[in-house]
Structure 1
């Protein structure tokens, strides 16, 4: 198994416009950052699985179907008989930027238990990926960190994408403390320029990535929106420019970027250990193209490119 992602899968009720009376219209898109990444990587040729939990409801059944239709292994998609599938209402402004409101109290995804993870899945993983939404409450927090620790001890590469969603945390100080706690476990960190000050106390990518790399992180990626991505790879830093597009919806763009990068990395000779600087920049350019295609369309998972599209766009 190339990539095993652990964390939330949910419904993004995404604004698609307004009707003639000015009432907002919403579409029930499948989403959740780890699920997005698993689908993005699967569409681009990687074998992926998702460890998560949904409610025993129509949305939960729909999400399982979407994952399976996109080639994601769902053997570790548990079902909670008491909590509903989590909903995130995603409002989009005229620039395509997002605003999230979560209906999750507690929500099925946050109720994931350690004994709901098939042990063989962690043994099979070449990459174990997680985000920070599953760190917002127990028992998912402990489950996620234990999975990362176990996978790393078994030789997997651990990747982390901290997504700050303010209304899921009691306060910013708690969020910062919890989001920084896993850094010593991480081999590759993908972070947006918006989260950089929370994780590194600076808005400067050069200084921020240096501080993050001090945790032993081998590769730090800072996504810069339309400007592309800044990277720190050992002593090397640089920027790979983004690919211009007409923005439809930025939801899922970062997950597509990281999923595309990891899919490419899993196919590289020697994986991260054999990674050269030219190969890294080529992978990042590929990931930027994938993110641009997603950004040009609406929704997260429905907007993600296929391998055929990416090959055609080359």
Structure 2
């Protein structure tokens, strides 16, 4: 056994170039920030003392080196982070609106993250993790799409809980119909799942968050959450649906908000040492508040991984 992880994630790891003012000549400046939803989620969970591991591919370039260093500093195991000199690390250029919301322009033709093959995946990691987490961006292209499905099958057959956060990015899909079909295809594997209120109609037949939650639970998802931005989150399992209220924030950048919520929530759930369907309504509210606290702190800074708060900050926001 080479790794015993609490959470292992597979997916994209990239650079977010985030606006950082203007130069003396009036040209926009961009800040190099580490990004990628699965890695953001792991970084948040690692703050709670969980053992985390990342599976993915970046280029053998300055950005890939930077991303590896970032994950190591975040306490994430990088043994199965592949650096490939045939492909360039994926880049995302982010435009921020006044309310902190984002628009994306990607350089991914192809990006290294889409070129991960199953033969490059260390199967012993998947066989020895409590939770295996994926998003949907590894499903846009092969070979990473095939690798994702094969990894899901292996992790599930080895007893891991499957965690899913679709993290829809329209610019990376050929069309909305293809995105919807592939994003929904993962649900049959899933034990625990998080979607945003903007993704309900893509992942379910319902736009209403509560109806969407009920649908996911009927489909076999054992524990699900819908994030509602500053309004908190709805969380549900067989015991019903509850709302965890959000926290006030001075929003700078919403990058990583949903990922950090799910990292904090999932870490709290794992520390409870119970099954997803056994969480009480009170526990779902409590763990949801933890996730909301993490997210509310994350959005007060630019970027994802580097904006994940420390435990002292999280406890202070929770009033502990």
TM range (shorter): over 0.9
The answer for unaligned runs of 5 or more in structure 1 is none
1:94 aligns with 2:98: yes
Bigger Cα displacement from structure 2, 43-52 vs 233-242: 233-242
Aligned to 1:148: 152
Alignment partner, residue 44 of structure 2: 40
Query: 1:254 — aligned with what?
Result: 258
Answering whether residue 268 of structure 2 is matched by residue 264 of structure 1, we say yes
Query: What is the root-mean-square deviation of aligned Cα atoms in Å?
Result: 1.3
Partner of residue 311, structure 1: 315
Residue by residue over 1:184-242, the C-alpha shift from the partner in whole angstroms, topping out at 9 and shown as x without a partner, is 00001100011111111322112212222222001110000011001221140121111
Instruction: Report the equivalent of 2:65.
Output: 61
Query: 1:269 Cα shift?
Result: 2.9
TM-score, L = length of structure 1: 0.97
Give how far 1:295 is off: 0.7
The yes-or-no answer on 1:188 pairing with 2:187 is: no
SS at match of 1:100: strand
CA contact (8 A) 1:67 1:74 kept: yes
Cα displacement (A) at 1:92: 0.5
Deviation of the 1:168 alpha carbon:
0.8
Residue aligning to 1:49: 53
Map 1:134-213 onto structure 2 (within 5 A): 134-213=138-217
Q: Normalised by the size of structure 2, how large is the TM-score?
A: 0.95
**Alpha-carbon offset, residue 154 of structure 1:** 0.8
Deviation at 1:8, TM superposition (A): 0.6
Task: Give the paired residue count.
Answer: 314
Q: Does the CA contact (< 8 Å) of 1:8 and 1:34 recur in 2?
A: yes
Task: Name which of 60, 79, 84 aligns with 1:80.
Answer: 84
Question: Do the aligned partners of 2:89 and 2:111 also contact (CA within 8 Å) in 1?
Answer: yes
Match of 1:117 in 2: 121
Structure 2: tracts of 5 or more residues without a match: none
Q: Is the 8 A contact 1:184 1:215 kept in 2?
A: yes
Alpha-carbon distance in 1 for matches of 2:99, 2:24? 21
The answer to whether the 8 Å contact 2:61/2:89 transfers is yes
Q: Retained in 2: the 8 A contact 1:187–1:219?
A: yes
Partner of 2:242: 238
Alignment partner for residue 70 of structure 1, among 55, 61, 74?
A: 74
**Are residues 1:216 and 2:220 paired?**
yes
Alpha-carbon distance between aligned partners in 1 of 2:36 and 2:45, rounded to the nearest angstrom: 14
Q: 1:45, 1:307 within 8 Å by CA — same for their partners in 2?
A: no
Distance verdict in 2 for CA 1:272–1:201, change over 3 Å = closer
